[in-house]
Amino acid sequence: MNGRVRHLAAALTGLGLGLAALGPGLAPGFVLSYDMVFVPDPGFTAFTFGLTGVVPRHVPSDAVVTALAAVLPADVVQKLVLLAIFVTACASAASLVPSTRIVPRLAAGVCYAWNPFVAERLLLGQWALLLGYAALPWVVGAAAKVTGPGGGRRLVRSLVPAAVGGFAALAVSAMTALVVAAVSGGRSDAGGRAAVKARAAAAARVVGAAAVLSLPWLVPALLRPAGIPGDGTGVELFAARADTPFGTLGSLLLLGGVWNAETVPDGYGAPVTATLWLAVVVTALAAYARWCREPAWRRGLVAAAVAGTATAALGALAAPVLRGLIGLWPGFAVLRDGQQYAAPLAVLVAVGLGVAADRAARARLSSVAVAAAAAPVLLLPTLAWGAAGELRSVRYPDDWARARRIIHADPAPGDVLVLPWAAYRSYPWNHGRRVLDPLPRYLHRRVVVNDAVTVGTTTLAAEDPRAVRLAPAARTGLPSADTLRDEGVRYVVVDAEIGSQHPSGAAVPVMRGRDLAVYRIDGSAAPPGDGGAAGPVVAAWVIVILVIFWSIPARGITLSTPLLGSIKPRDPPREEGTP
Cα-based angle 150, 153, 159 (whole degrees, multiple of 5) = 140
As a whole number of angstroms, the distance between CA 554 and CA 431 comes to: 49
Cα-based angle 406, 411, 413 (whole degrees, multiple of 5) = 105
Residue 519 in contact with residue 531, Cβ under 8 Å?
Answer: no
Query: For the chain, first and last CA: distance in Å?
Result: 10
Backbone angles phi, psi at 76, to 5 degrees: -70, -40
Q: At what angle do helices 167-184 and 298-317 cross, to 10 degrees?
A: 130
As a whole number of angstroms, the distance between CA 256 and CA 252 comes to: 5
Half-sphere exposure of residue 69: CA atoms within 13 angstroms, side-chain side: 19
Q: Collapsing DSSP states into helix, strand and coil, what is residue 535?
A: helix
As a whole number of angstroms, the distance between CA 430 and CA 487 comes to: 32
Beta-sheet pairing, 489-494 with 415-419:
parallel
As a whole number of angstroms, the distance between CA 224 and CA 51 comes to: 8
Task: Give the length of the chain.
Answer: 579
Can you list the residues of the chain whose pLDDT is less than 50?
556-579
Q: Collapsing DSSP states into helix, strand and coil, what is residue 427?
A: coil
Give the sheet arrangement for strand 517-520, strand by strand.
447-448, 415-419, 489-494, 517-520, 508-512
As a whole number of angstroms, the distance between CA 183 and CA 562 comes to: 24
As a whole number of angstroms, the distance between CA 565 and CA 552 comes to: 9
Q: Collapsing DSSP states into helix, strand and coil, what is residue 416?
A: strand
Residue 495 in contact with residue 449, Cβ under 8 Å?
Answer: no
Residue 224 in contact with residue 55, Cβ under 8 Å?
Answer: yes
The whole-number pLDDT of residue 227 equals: 82
The whole-number pLDDT of residue 574 equals: 38
Beta-sheet pairing, 393-394 with 447-448:
unpaired
Q: At what angle do helices 167-184 and 127-134 cross, to 10 degrees?
A: 20
Q: Which of 517, 397, 389 is nearest to 29 (CA)?
A: 397
As a whole number of angstroms, the distance between CA 440 and CA 416 comes to: 9
Other Cβ atoms less than 10 A from the Cβ of 365: the count is 14
The whole-number pLDDT of residue 576 equals: 32
Single pTM value for the model: 0.94
Q: How far is CA 335 from CA 224, 229, 239, 571, in A?
A: 21, 13, 9, 37
Burial class of residue 304, CB neighbours in 10 A (0-12, 13-18, 19+)? buried
Residue 419 in contact with residue 471, Cβ under 8 Å?
Answer: no
Backbone angles phi, psi at 62, to 5 degrees: -65, -40
As a whole number of angstroms, the distance between CA 104 and CA 359 comes to: 9
Q: Collapsing DSSP states into helix, strand and coil, what is residue 163?
A: helix
Q: How is 340-357 classified by DSSP, letter by letter?
A: GGGHHHHHHHHHHHHHHH
As a whole number of angstroms, the distance between CA 294 and CA 567 comes to: 12
Residue 124 in contact with residue 243, Cβ under 8 Å?
Answer: no
The whole-number pLDDT of residue 1 equals: 57
Q: H/E element holding 447?
A: strand 447-448
As a whole number of angstroms, the distance between CA 352 and CA 255 comes to: 14
Other Cβ atoms less than 10 A from the Cβ of 495: the count is 24
Residue 281 in contact with residue 254, Cβ under 8 Å?
Answer: yes
Q: Which of 188, 162, 166 is nearest to 176 (CA)?
A: 162
Residue 283 in contact with residue 348, Cβ under 8 Å?
Answer: no
